[in-house]
Amino acid sequence: MAQAQDVPIDLCRVCSGSSRWIFSKVVLGRPVDYFDCPTCGYFQTETPHWLEEAYTNAINDVDTGIMTRNAKNVGRVTMTLLSLSLLKGRVVDHAGGYGILVRMLRDAGIDAYWSDKYCKNLLAKGFEDENSSCDLVTAFEVFEHLTDPVADLRKMLEAAPVVLISTELILGTASPSDDWWYLAPEHGQHIGFFRQATLAWMASKIGCHYASDGRTVHLFSHAPIPRSWRLFMRWQGRWKFFVSRRLISKTNEDFTFLRQHRG
Sequence ranges of the domains in the chain: 66-167+198-262
CA distances from 157 to 22, 81, 150, 231 (A): 33, 16, 11, 23
In the chain, what percentage of residues exceed pLDDT 70? 97
Do the beta carbons of residue 67 and residue 59 sit within 8 Å?
no
Q: Is the pLDDT of residue 131 over 90?
A: no
- What's the number of CA atoms in the CB half-sphere (13 Å) around residue 57? 7
Distance of CA 239 to the CA centre of its chain: 20
Q: The pTM is what?
A: 0.94
* Closest residue by Cα to residue 135 from 98, 84, 100: 84
Is 60's pLDDT higher than 80?
no
Q: Taking all residues of the chain, what is their mean pLDDT, rounded to a whole number?
A: 94
In this prediction, residues 90-100 reach a mean pLDDT of 97
Backbone angles phi, psi at 30, to 5 degrees: -125, 145
* β-bridge partners, 25: 32
For the segment 141-155, the average pLDDT, to the nearest whole number, is: 98
Dihedral sign from CA coordinates of 215, 79, 203, 9: positive
Confidence band (pLDDT; 50, 70, 90) for 4? very low
Residue 107 has pLDDT above 90, yes or no: yes
Kindly tell me if the per-residue pLDDT of 106 is higher than 50. Answer: yes
Query: What CA–CA distances, in Å, run from 251 to 105, 240, 258?
Result: 10, 16, 11
pLDDT-derived band at 62 (thresholds 50, 70, 90) equals confident
What is the spatial distance between Cα 153 and Cα 98, in angstroms, rounded to a whole number? 22
- What value does the mean pLDDT take over residues 66-89? 97
Question: Which carries the bigger pLDDT value, residue 199 or residue 7?
Answer: 199
Sequence-separated (6 or more) residues with CB below 8 Å from residue 37 = 12, 14, 15, 17, 18, 19, 20, 43, 44, 198
Give pLDDT, residue 250: 97
Q: How confident is the model at residue 180 (pLDDT cuts 50, 70, 90)?
A: very high
Q: How confident is the model at residue 7 (pLDDT cuts 50, 70, 90)?
A: low
Q: Is the pLDDT of residue 59 over 90?
A: no
pLDDT tier at 22, thresholds 50, 70, 90: very high
Helix 100-108 and helix 251-262, axial crossing angle in degrees, nearest 10: 120
- CATH number of this structure's domain 66-167+198-262: 3.40.50
Residue 263 has pLDDT above 90, yes or no: no
Give the residue-averaged pLDDT of 113-139.
94
Give the pLDDT band of residue 6 (cuts 50, 70, 90).
Answer: low
